[in-house]
Amino acid sequence: MKVWLRLVRGMRGWVVTGWIVALAVAFSWAQMVPGEMAEYSEPPLIEPPQSPQPPHSPRPPFMPPPPTPLPPEQAAPFAPALAPVGPSSEWGEMIGGANRLAPPTPVVQLHVRAPAQVSPDREIEYRLTVENVSSAPAHHVLVRDRLPRGVDKNIRAEPKATEQKKTKDGDTDLLWDLGTVKPGEQKVIVLAIKPKGNEDVQNRAYVQFEYGQKVTTRIAKPGVRVKTTAPPLAIRYEAVSFQIEVANTGAAPLRNVVVTDELPVALEFVSGKPEPHADKPLTWKLGDVPPYQIRRIEYQAISKQTGTFRNNVKVTAAGGVSAADSAGVTVGEAKLKISISAPQRRLVNRPVPYHITVGNVGSVPLTNVQVSDELPPGGVAFVSASSGGRREGGFARWSLGNLKPGELRSLLVVLRMPTPGRYRNAVQVQASYSPAERADGNIEAKARSEETRIESARVPVLEIDKNTDWLVVGQKAIYTIRLFNPGKDNVLHPSVLVEVPNEMSIIAVRGESTGQQRGQKVFFDPVKVLDGGEEKAYTIEVEAKKAGEAKLRAWWTDGRQE
């Protein structure tokens, strides 16, 4: 009994406390300004109502008409459908499930903001925000706003509507053509209208856009490409190899492939792999070539003429497929020439000059040109050699390197004969050429000089030397005339007379005495004395004027003769 009394007393205390709190809250509410709660309960902008018109409105609920599709010619470019290459792009796999590589789909949202309540004499401003929230562009974006009935005709819109038109029901639609909205892009339209009465105003806005895909299905078809190759340089009377490559560049077989090659008349067919089915023109029937495969033809021909020739190749196949190509080859000739000249007479133990001329008279470059001069027997002494010549045993040798077609090289070797007699000198030249078909080929040429008579004398003699054995019109040369006294007796007042051939013109004269030119002749004044064993030297520089064989002559006199 005591326990229950304690519980009752406790409950009474809690009840009294609750009444006190309730009275305090009621007193605080009584102090608030009327209308303050309504102001806090309404935000400045709210979403437009999504429900139909209120029950008290006489108009039926508004049902937006379906968007009008745009004509095909205004459709935006379609994004290509990405399908995996190979078997995964076949119909069977695409039907079995969604294409995992499909491009993203655009998503466009429309947000309309409007005041919840305005005074009857104020305009209502709407903010229509169009936003592309996807990663794909949306094309031909069109915003349509159906104006409420019972509003003022003076409408403010920024930007201005693209079009304004009436519907069948008498409503007015404002249209904004926004074009393409890029991913993440926003576009805002501000629309302000002014109601005429006291009825609530409902405004409806819509957005539509276009999105599509374009796919391409390729039809397999064959393609042909032909390539003809030939060496750029070939040698006359040597085999030349030609290669023909026929490639099917398409995804379908190439049927009934025929190759024809119009070989130039100067080239004669020798053999082929495979062998042709006909030779005028050369014809190969290759049959069918699978997709992306290559067929090769190789054949050899010999040219009996020099010059540049071109053979034309054509490939045809079923369905009108064809291709053509050509290749050119220059046929040249490897040819060497060598000559050697020597004086007709010389004294014993006097220098004997031999002029050697090496020329590439062919039409192909020559390499590794080697010249050798086998010294005459009988104790002949090697004195000197020009252009890097050297003595190797009983030979004088030169390494000339390369010779271009038409190029000439002049060499000089000087020997000394110890005994009287008749001597001849033999020279040889070897060179290589490089046809494209095989390893280097070799050619050679030989020459032998005229006899040189070596003799003894006791009276003065003239020796004529020249710095070159060949001259081209316009080139210059120097002749050296030596007056040598091999005896022991002195010769008084000797003079020298030189006659230059008409094929040359005299440029300059020099010597032990003054030279006087008279036409094509040069008279050198006498010297006082020519001692035994002494020599006097005179030089004449000339220039070649016209082609031909030219000989320069010289005499000496002791001053007692005219």
Q: What percent of the chain has pLDDT over 90?
A: 50
pTM listed for this prediction: 0.53
Give the integer Cα–Cα distance in Å for 185 and 187: 7
Segment 335-363, tens digit of pLDDT: 899 999 999 889 999 999 999 999 999 88
Cα distances (Å, whole numbers) of residue 225 to 254, 259, 272: 11, 12, 21
CB 528 within 8 A of CB 512: no
**Mean pLDDT, range 441-469, rounded to an integer:** 88
pLDDT at 211: 86
Question: Is residue 445 very low, low, confident or very high in pLDDT (cuts 50, 70, 90)?
Answer: very high
* pLDDT beyond 70 at 518: yes
Q: Which residues is 408 bridged to in the sheet?
A: 359
pLDDT digits (tens, 9 = 90+) for 63-102: 444 444 444 444 333 333 333 333 334 443 343 344 556 7
Q: What is the DSSP letter of 88?
A: G
Say whether pLDDT at 441 is over 70.
yes
Domain range 457-562, CATH class:
mainly beta
Q: 341-456 belongs to which homologous superfamily?
A: Immunoglobulins (2.60.40.10)
The whole-number pLDDT of residue 318 equals 93
Instruction: Report the Cα–Cα distance between both ends of the chain, in Å, rounded.
Output: 188
Which segments of 334-425 does DSSP mark as H helices, in order? none
The domains of the chain are located at: 72-214, 224-332, 341-456, 457-562
What's the pLDDT tens digit per position in 245-304? 999 999 999 999 999 998 888 888 999 999 999 888 999 999 999 999 999 999 999 988
Compute φ and ψ for 3, nearest 5 degrees.
-65, -45
Mean pLDDT of the chain: 81
- At residue 524 the predicted structure's pLDDT band, cuts being 50, 70 and 90, is very high
CA 360 from chain centre, in angstroms, equals 36
Enter the CATH code of domain 224-332.
2.60.40.10
Residue 74 confidence (pLDDT): 40
* 189 closest CA partner among 203, 199, 168, 171: 203
**Do the first three CATH levels of 224-332 and 341-456 match, i.e. the same topology?**
yes
Nearest to 284 by CA among 232, 253, 245: 245
Q: What is the pLDDT of residues 108-133, one digit of tens each?
A: 999 999 998 988 888 899 999 999 99
pLDDT band, very low/low/confident/very high, at 12 (cuts 50, 70, 90) = low
Q: Are 284 and 325 in contact (CB under 8 A)?
A: no
Residues 351 and 303 sit within 8 Å (Cβ to Cβ): no
Which conformational region is residue 411 in: left (phi greater than 0), alpha (psi within -120 to 50 degrees), or beta?
A: beta
Given a cut of 60, whether residue 41 has pLDDT beyond it is no
Q: What is the CA radius of gyration of the chain?
A: 57
Least trusted range by pLDDT, from 21-35, 391-405, 452-466? 21-35
Residues 72-214: name the CATH superfamily.
Answer: ntegrin, alpha v. Chain A, domain 3 (2.60.40.1510)
Peptide bond into 183 cis (omega under 30): no
Q: Under DSSP, is residue 278 helix (H, G, I), strand (E, B) or coil?
A: strand
